Amino acid sequence: MKALARLVLGLVIFDAAVTAPTLEPINYDSETYDATLEDLDDLYNYENIPIGQAEERTSIAGSREQRAPHPAPQPEEAEEEEEESTPRLIDGFSPQEPEFTRVLGPHASEDFPTCLLCTCISTTVYCDDHELDAIPPLPKNTAYFYSRFNRIKKINRNDFASLNDLRKIDLTSNLISEIDEDAFRKLPELRELILRDNKIRQLPDLPTTLTFIDISSNRLGRKGIKQEAFKDMYDLHHLYLTDNNLDHIPLPLPENLRALHLQNNNILEMHEDTFCDVKNLTYIRKALEDIRLDGNPINLSKTPQAYMCLPRLPIGSLV
């Protein structure tokens, strides 16, 4: 409550400053306070505040001086406006920083350096589109990591080391051509691995906890997937390997797999036991409802027995 009182007092002073531009710049003390977005909504009536000023208020309320070790330059325009009518902001936050980082700052992964560049909300780290050329250091409690549309070339052994809560990695649209063999293997909670649109030639060992794998649009080719790579992934339900120049279907397929996308590869043949069990005609692979083999030089009509156990025929050339 004391903190809230301090905040209210601060706002009253700030209000005075806005209406009386000749006032000296105010020294806000840098003690931490836990203002939430709800608190702010209660205190403000945004409708009566010009947009620029409303933004400044949010930024003051949501920040602390010591959270901004690198002063980020303010855009020129904003600076000019401030000099005219309002006291300069004491914090160094760029107004371009996403709103929630500033407002929720004290609740996120606080002073972690990566969170000053990227956006951290609770246990999620968003680093999309930041021209990164390597995986940045991540807070220990990171559960969801997005780093799409960057220029990362390699994933190193230690990039995700001891991130024991990591559940999802999304590195869509980077330049990854190399992944250390141990990069993912020891992540005990990893569920989703999305590496679409990269240049990966060789898939490393993967943890068996995975439920969703998307390595579409890479260069796995004939040797990029190891023998029995997906065999022990009991919970795997989506496996997307579109556009990879694969020349075979990676076997065996885990029993709970629901979707297998292999379109636009170089798969030439299918065997009677690829999906089904030729020795057991009562066996039904009931989970696997979505098989895509279109865009492959394969004639599915040649192996009519191969689909007996499936709930649906694969999509692909049947002529």
Ligand X SMILES: *[C@@H]1O[C@H](CO)[C@@H](O)[C@H](O)[C@H]1NC(C)=O
- Contact positions toward ligand X, by CB under 6 A? 280, 282-283, 299, 301-302, 319
CA-based nearest residue to 106, from 161, 66, 136, 141: 66
Q: Which CB atom, from 151 or from 302, has the smaller least distance to ligand X?
A: 302
Count Cβ atoms below 10 Å from residue 105 Cβ, excluding itself: 21
Return the SS3 of 33: coil
Q: Which CB atom, from 178 or from 277, has the smaller least distance to ligand X?
A: 277
Q: Which CB atom, from 182 or from 247, has the smaller least distance to ligand X?
A: 247
Q: How far apart are the C-alpha atoms of 262 and 242, rounded to whole Å?
A: 5
Q: Which CB atom, from 51 or from 319, has the smaller least distance to ligand X?
A: 319
* Bridge partners, 291 (sequence order): 260
The number of angstroms, rounded, from the C-alpha of 293 to the middle of its chain's C-alpha atoms is: 28
Instruction: Please tell me whether the peptide bond between 71 and the residue prior to it is cis, using omega within 30 degrees of 0.
Output: no
Q: How far apart are the C-alpha atoms of 201 and 197, rounded to whole Å?
A: 12
- Rg (C-alpha) for the chain, rounded Å, is 27
Q: How far apart are the C-alpha atoms of 91 and 88, rounded to whole Å?
A: 9
Q: Which CB atom, from 245 or from 299, has the smaller least distance to ligand X?
A: 299
Q: Which CB atom, from 70 or from 279, has the smaller least distance to ligand X?
A: 279
Whether 252 contacts 227, CB under 8 Å = no
Return the SS3 of 116: helix
Nearest distance in Å: CB 266, ligand X: 16
Please identify which residue in the block is written with the tokens 């209660």.
42
